[in-house]
Amino acid sequence: MIYVDDPSQRIPPGSGAGGSQGLRQHIYRALPEIDRAEAIVTRLRDSMSLGLLREGDRLPSEVEMAESFGVSPTTVREALSALRAKGLVETRRGRSGGTFVVSLPASSVPLMRQRLESMSVVELRDMGDHRAAVSAASIQLAASRAVDSDLHAIERLVEAFDAAEGAHALARADSRIWLEIAVSAQSRRLLIAQLHLQLESSELLWAPLGNPRSKEMVMPYFTHMIEALHRRDRESAVSAAAQRIQDDTFHMIDQKLTLALHEGSKDDTDVR
């Protein structure tokens, strides 16, 4: 399968290097016509959830964000006030001051369990199909378009994933790899689609429930993907990505069924 995207939506080559300028442009792009302060809160909170903004990161100035978002500085101040109230950022005064990320949002285990239980097997499978379609298109294009700096950035993110510990850290590190691949594909539409998918699926996939997702089971997929990208082997890259996502989908369905079985057994015990 050859994926053809709109050239006008491409991200400039090399923008995936290091901190990924393409992702930064996405974070601070102009806002839709809705409650703009709340939209800023959502954009920044989601970026923290995915690891695009990390603890200690300094946000742009209020004036810079107002210009990027296409809003007034007053709207930016309102959004930052809401983020401070949530304990996610703090503003420091002085020469080295500014607004800094001080905490990352994360769903509680009971909330992740509730989300997984509320989704049907069909919905989980459909989410996996959507992930497979977007990720296959992204890695296929990345195999053709990524420059060396993009590939090195992906390799560093895989190393960070291998060093990560804990469900939330693994979820963020995993998401960053898929997003960097989308950046390397140089397609804004694929990047936006992948961002939405990671927000929807990442915490569920790595939720510490029952038999948690194993980092050791995931690493070989990333190794095969990187090797294929270096060889510019689109077919092998797509195959490795598709197998990884299929494995993810099976894992989430198994987790759901295990939880349902456990609840059924508990109900039977209560009746007795």
pLDDT tens for 23-49 read 777 778 776 666 789 999 999 999 999
pLDDT of 24: 77
Q: What is the pTM of this model?
A: 0.82
Q: How far apart are CA 194 and CA 191, in angstroms?
A: 5
Q: What would the mean pLDDT of 9-16 be, rounded to a whole number?
A: 54
Place of tokens 């456990």: 262
pLDDT of 168: 93
pLDDT of 11: 57
Please enumerate in sequence order all residues whose Cβ is within 8 A of that of 157, keeping only pairs 6 or more positions apart, or say none.
173, 176, 177, 180
pLDDT of 138: 98
Tell me the CA distances in angstroms from 256 to 109, 113, 115, 223, one per residue in order: 14, 9, 10, 28
Confidence of residue 182 (pLDDT cuts 50, 70, 90): very high
Write out pLDDT tens, residues 204-225: 999 999 889 999 999 999 999 9
Write out pLDDT tens, residues 235-263: 999 999 999 999 999 999 999 999 888 76
Comparing 152 with 4, the larger pLDDT belongs to 152
Beta bridge partners of 90: 100
Compute how many other C-beta atoms are within 10 angstroms of the C-beta atom of residue 197.
22
End-to-end CA gap in the chain: 56
Write out pLDDT tens, residues 108-124: 899 999 999 999 999 99
pLDDT of 264 strictly over 60: no
- What domains, with CATH codes, occur in the chain? 17-101 (1.10.10.10), 109-271 (1.20.120.530)
Write out pLDDT tens, residues 54-70: 999 999 999 999 999 99
pLDDT of 159 strictly over 90: yes
Write out pLDDT tens, residues 79-107: 999 999 999 999 998 888 899 999 999 88
pLDDT of 149 strictly over 60: yes
Confidence of residue 18 (pLDDT cuts 50, 70, 90): very low
Tell me the CA distances in angstroms from 95 to 33, 101, 104, 255, one per residue in order: 35, 18, 25, 50
